Structure 1
Amino acid sequence: MLNSELLNYISGTKKNIALNVLFRWFGLLMNILISFSIVWILNQFYQGENPDYLFFIFLLTGLWLLKFFFERKAELYGFSLSQKVKKHLRLRFLRKIIKIGPSYSQKMPSSKILQLAGDGVEQLQTYYSGFMPQLFFSILATLTMVVLIAFINVRTSLVLLIFSPLIPIVIYKGLSIARKILGRYWKSYFDLGSTFMDNIQGLTIAKIYNADEYKHKVMNEKAEDFRVKTMKLLTMQLNSINVMDIIAFGGVSAGIITAFLQLRKGNIAIEGFNGDTGLMGMILILLLCYDFFVPLRILGSLFHVAMNGIFASTFITDFLNLPDENNGKEISDKENFDITINAMSFSFNENDFIKGINIIFPQNQMTSIVGKSGCGKSTIVNILSGILTGYKGSIKIGNTENRDLMNSYRMKHINIITHNPYFFKGSVRENMLLANENATDNDIEQALKEVNLLNFINSQNGLDTLLNANAENFSGGQKQRLAIARALLQNPDVFIFDEATSNIEAESEEIIMSLIEKLKQEKTIILISHRLSNVVKSDNIYYMEDGNIIEKGTHNELISAGNKYAKLYQYQKELESYGKN
């Protein structure tokens, strides 16, 4: 029931739980004193004495206020712990993703990570802030009540003590039974989340091909499966709660019956009371029996709430314990950003996709990779950036092997601009500062000026111009230029443009290509493009087909050779001329 590994993930957890339990115990002591006070005033009535009502009212009021204070402090410690758990674990998720690097999605699906970081952590915080403090408090409360009732009647105390471990035993047995049900529940939950994310991301495609009805049917099937698994889990929890209720009420009944039998034998008494202390002792036992079993009953209820968190903790632990991609190192020669690929191969599902290629990307030059879709261009980019791992052969950035590079260093010095960059909902300034948190407004404006976007931004609301989610209120070309401006603000040493000019208007394409030619004077430029007209001014061009480099050279050299590059270039040129006419 306790996961010591997760307990040690969060500093201060043990202290917070200990203080929570301590203040709950103080609250229990106040409740015990209230019970004693009630019996004391009843005893005075029973003896025919005239009690001091004012003192009794002040006493009960004071004890209730103290009880409220201690219970409130316990709640505050529980709330503080729950917030700390959620914040700390989600930060650990984020840091783990950063440590693993761009290839994190190869370790665990993005939808599963989102579900664990969201609902999984929410469930787990109940385990931390509710279940664990209640577990320790229940043990402490039970021992306190056993000792206290033993002073009134030992046999009653022993009967209650015999029943008290039964609820924890039911909890433990319930956990062992629930593992299979919870396993199927979480598997169904992850499947539903993965299907939902896939459908959302592909909604436009599904609409285009009239496949939305089929996707809707698949989604309904996944949702129904999750509903069935959820109902089975709830049924199991309800049955377990019924068993715990029977034990709790049975224990209270057994304790009360034993106390009555002991009262008839004259074996119940309260030291310090006058008159019929047996009757007063019986009343006190009746009042204390409630406090004896309530903590254990609450523990059982919290267990069913926290059970999902207990099981989710295994998935959370698995993710947080994933090995980092590498400890990594920095580039040994920080002035050399030549990239050399030598006999590099890469496989998908044991099928060779990139087949022993050799490419050189010299610093201060623009090198282009071209070819038909599916030839391996973007795969090379993903390997260079660390999104894909496990290549064979060698890729050196300067004199350092790519697989040995620190992920954070690679991301700092290599920037990829794709055909579909992402922007967060917020201002232009906020999105730009992601690249360089120390950038001034002047720095941002200079970067926007480089991509000919400053005048447009100023015509809106300046750097405070709000972007919708993924900058949907910008045109494709404006969005692409904004992405390049953000990359300029980061000032990496290697720029990779992966189809960065596809599906944008001619004006933006011209601006971007002019900037790329300017950047190559001081940066390593890698250009991936399906349009050969964009690579004409490249210093080096590699033509790929089926994972192989089949041609290389400058544009003029490849045109003169008259092979596949030249034929594709001529074909595209004719298509463009036809479109203009």
Structure 2
Amino acid sequence: MLNSELLFYVQGTKKNIFFNVFLRWLALLMNIMISLSVALFLNDLYTGKPPSYGWYFLSVLSFWGIKFLLERRAELFGLQLSEDVKIELRKRFFKKIISIGPSYGQKMSTSKIMQLSGEGIEQLQTYYSGFMPQLFYSISATSTMVLVICFINVKTSIVLLLLSPLIPLVIMIGLKIAKKILGKYWKSYFSLGNIFLDSIQGLTMLKSYDADGKKHNQMNLQAEDFRVKTMKLLRSQLNSINMMDMVAFGGLAAGLVTALYQLKENKVTMLGMDGDTRLLGMFFIILLCYEFFVPLRILGSLFHVAMNGIWASTFIKDFLDAPVNNESNREINHSNHNISIKNMNFSYDDQPFLTNLDMTFPHHKITSIVGKSGCGKSTIANLLIGTVTGYDGSIKRLSIARALLQDPEILIFDEATSNIEEESEEIIMNLIRKISNRKTIIIISHRLSNVLQSDYIYFMANGKVEEEGSHSDLMIAQKDYAALYQYQKDLEQYAK
């Protein structure tokens, strides 16, 4: 359960964990002193000795006050650790996105990144601030109380020492069961997030094609699957907690029974104290046995949090270790903004898609790429801006196209006028033409009416450039471009 790599994920982790555990251990010592004071008070009452009420009250109040301050300070260290983890990991996460560049989506889907940077980091945050400190504290607290009880009765301390590993054993058994459940849980969680984000991003298109109902049903099915996986996870957690409670109370009973048998044999005594201390020692053991299994029970209740944190850290680490784009911060020579594609090939999942492409996009000109859906228009745009990588051939300051800042020299419009009314479309196209004398513009469109005034047009089909030239040149050629243009024109006239 302890992943040593996670100790070095965030700077200052070990220091904050140490102080959290150390202060809680000091608070435990105060609790032991409170238990001793209460045991002394009960012993005085039982033996008939008049107790000093004021002294016992002040001692308990003093120890309790110190304990409160120590636990409060330990809690602040835990909160600081929690905040540091959240802030540092999210900073590293988004710095990694920037360093990879627009192609980060090829390393991990956008929805998965959003889920990990939110829910995933919060799970890891709880792992740091909850489980890890509790693990070290449980070890130190158990060892301390075994040592203290050893000075009262050795056999009782041995019994408690032998029974204390049972809770970690139950944790390990639950861990093996939870691994498969957690794997299915996170897979369903990522799938739901992916469907949700795709639906939101493509909502306009879904409404346009009256496909929102189908997507709604698909999301309902995925949400139901996630609910089922979540309930299985919660059921597993509840069963593990019940098992740990049984072990803890069973261990408590075994410790008390052992102490009672030792009391019967007059082997319970408070070392270093005068007189008959059998009942005093028994009272003290009873109070300590109650505290003995509390840290381990809390540790057990946190182990599912730890599992979630470790699963989240696996995905986070994979992303943080992904190779970066070395060109993302390269200085650009602004003297020439021509873009040229030479002998470029591109595949999706080892299936050839774009084949031997040659294209030129001149500086301060409008160049359009047209064709039917699925011909590769948007893929070329994604390659130019860097959201997709892994091509053969060359794209030549490509880096400029990726640096779309406040006043970019290159503008790529991928279906910029889709799903808007005719008046707004005309306004947008007029603005594009207006800035074309000082910008390099690339238009991706399936509507050929948007590219009539382009300086150059590439007509694509099946991942290849089938025709190229100006609109008039392509119309004169009377090939597929001219046929598609006439078809769209007739369709628009019919719609009017």
Report the TM-score when normalising by structure 2.
0.89
C-alpha deviation, 1:210, in angstroms: 6.3
Matches within 5 A, 1:332-411: 333-397=333-397, 402=398, 405=399, 410-411=401-402
Residues 22-74 of structure 1: CA deviation (Å, up to 9, x unaligned): 11111111111111112233344455544432232222112111111111222
- 1:372 counterpart letter in structure 2: K
2:493 aligned with 1:493, yes or no? no
Q: 1:575, 1:178 → 2: CA distance? A: 58
- 2:8 counterpart letter in structure 1: N
C-alpha deviation, 1:524, in angstroms: 2.0
Residues 431-488 of structure 1: CA deviation (Å, up to 9, x unaligned): xxxx6xxxxxxxxxxxxxxxxxxxxxxxxxxxxxxxxxxxxxxxxxxxxxxxxxxxxx
Are the aligned partners of 2:401 and 2:411 in contact in 1 as well (CA < 8 Å)? Answer: no
Give the structure 2 partner of residue 445 of structure 1.
Answer: none
SS in 2 for 1:364: coil
C-alpha deviation, 1:352, in angstroms: 2.8
Q: 1:125, 1:305 → 2: CA distance? A: 10
2:20 aligned with 1:20, yes or no? yes
- 1:346 counterpart letter in structure 2: F
Q: Kindly tell me: are residues 553 and 195 of structure 1, through their superposed partners in 2, closer, same or farther at Cα, counting changes over 3 Å?
A: closer
Give the structure 1 partner of residue 3 of structure 2.
Answer: 3
2:156 aligned with 1:123, yes or no? no
Q: What root-mean-square deviation, in Å, do the aligned CA atoms of Structure 1 and Structure 2 show?
A: 2.9
Q: Percent identity?
A: 60
Give the structure 2 partner of residue 554 of structure 1.
Answer: 470
Matches within 5 A, 1:70-109: 70-109=70-109
Are the aligned partners of 1:6 and 1:317 in contact in 2 as well (CA < 8 Å)? Answer: no
2:454 to 534, 538, 541: 538
Give the structure 2 partner of residue 137 of structure 1.
Answer: 137
Q: Kindly tell me: are residues 540 and 150 of structure 1, through their superposed partners in 2, closer, same or farther at Cα, counting changes over 3 Å?
A: same
SS in 1 for 2:412: strand
Bigger Cα displacement from structure 2, 236-245 vs 502-511: 502-511
C-alpha deviation, 1:281, in angstroms: 0.8
Q: 1:385, 1:207 → 2: CA distance? A: 28
Are the aligned partners of 1:47 and 1:275 in contact in 2 as well (CA < 8 Å)? Answer: no
Q: 1:549, 1:214 → 2: CA distance? A: 35
Q: Kindly tell me: are residues 226 and 529 of structure 1, through their superposed partners in 2, closer, same or farther at Cα, counting changes over 3 Å?
A: closer
Report the TM-score when normalising by structure 1.
0.77
Q: 1:220, 1:308 → 2: CA distance? A: 24
Residues 101-149 of structure 1: CA deviation (Å, up to 9, x unaligned): 3233333333333332232222222211111111000000011111111
Q: Kindly tell me: are residues 341 and 3 of structure 1, through their superposed partners in 2, closer, same or farther at Cα, counting changes over 3 Å?
A: same
C-alpha deviation, 1:285, in angstroms: 0.9
Unaligned runs of 5+ in 2: none
C-alpha deviation, 1:339, in angstroms: 0.7
Q: 1:71, 1:144 → 2: CA distance? A: 17
Are the aligned partners of 2:375 and 2:462 in contact in 1 as well (CA < 8 Å)? Answer: yes
Give the structure 2 partner of residue 233 of structure 1.
Answer: 233
Q: 1:97, 1:342 → 2: CA distance? A: 28
2:109 aligned with 1:193, yes or no? no
Bigger Cα displacement from structure 2, 47-56 vs 211-220: 211-220
Unaligned runs of 5+ in 1: 416-434, 436-489
Give the structure 1 partner of residue 150 of structure 2.
Answer: 150
Q: 2:219, 2:443 → 1: CA distance? A: 39
Give the structure 2 partner of residue 524 of structure 1.
Answer: 440
Are the aligned partners of 1:135 and 1:299 in contact in 2 as well (CA < 8 Å)? Answer: yes
Q: 1:338, 1:492 → 2: CA distance? A: 14
Q: Kindly tell me: are residues 571 and 162 of structure 1, through their superposed partners in 2, closer, same or farther at Cα, counting changes over 3 Å?
A: closer
Matches within 5 A, 1:98-497: 98-201=98-201, 215-326=215-326, 330=330, 333-397=333-397, 402=398, 405=399, 410-412=401-403, 415=404, 490-497=406-413
Bigger Cα displacement from structure 2, 19-28 vs 208-217: 208-217
Instruction: Give the length in aligned residue pairs.
Output: 496
Residues 389-444 of structure 1: CA deviation (Å, up to 9, x unaligned): 222111113xxxx4xx5xxx6532xx4xxxxxxxxxxxxxxxxxxx6xxxxxxxxx
Q: 1:370, 1:208 → 2: CA distance? A: 21
Are the aligned partners of 2:43 and 2:283 in contact in 1 as well (CA < 8 Å)? Answer: no
C-alpha deviation, 1:207, in angstroms: 6.1
Q: Kindly tell me: are residues 327 and 27 of structure 1, through their superposed partners in 2, closer, same or farther at Cα, counting changes over 3 Å?
A: farther
Q: Kindly tell me: are residues 214 and 384 of structure 1, through their superposed partners in 2, closer, same or farther at Cα, counting changes over 3 Å?
A: closer
- 1:527 counterpart letter in structure 2: I
Q: Kindly tell me: are residues 327 and 382 of structure 1, through their superposed partners in 2, closer, same or farther at Cα, counting changes over 3 Å?
A: closer
Q: Kindly tell me: are residues 211 and 493 of structure 1, through their superposed partners in 2, closer, same or farther at Cα, counting changes over 3 Å?
A: closer
Q: Kindly tell me: are residues 81 and 515 of structure 1, through their superposed partners in 2, closer, same or farther at Cα, counting changes over 3 Å?
A: same
Q: 1:264, 1:2 → 2: CA distance? A: 42
C-alpha deviation, 1:579, in angstroms: 7.0
Give the structure 2 partner of residue 55 of structure 1.
Answer: 55
Bigger Cα displacement from structure 2, 243-252 vs 142-151: 243-252
Q: 1:11, 1:493 → 2: CA distance? A: 40
Q: Kindly tell me: are residues 375 and 42 of structure 1, through their superposed partners in 2, closer, same or farther at Cα, counting changes over 3 Å?
A: closer
Q: 1:231, 1:577 → 2: CA distance? A: 56
Q: 1:33, 1:327 → 2: CA distance? A: 64
Q: 2:283, 2:356 → 1: CA distance? A: 87
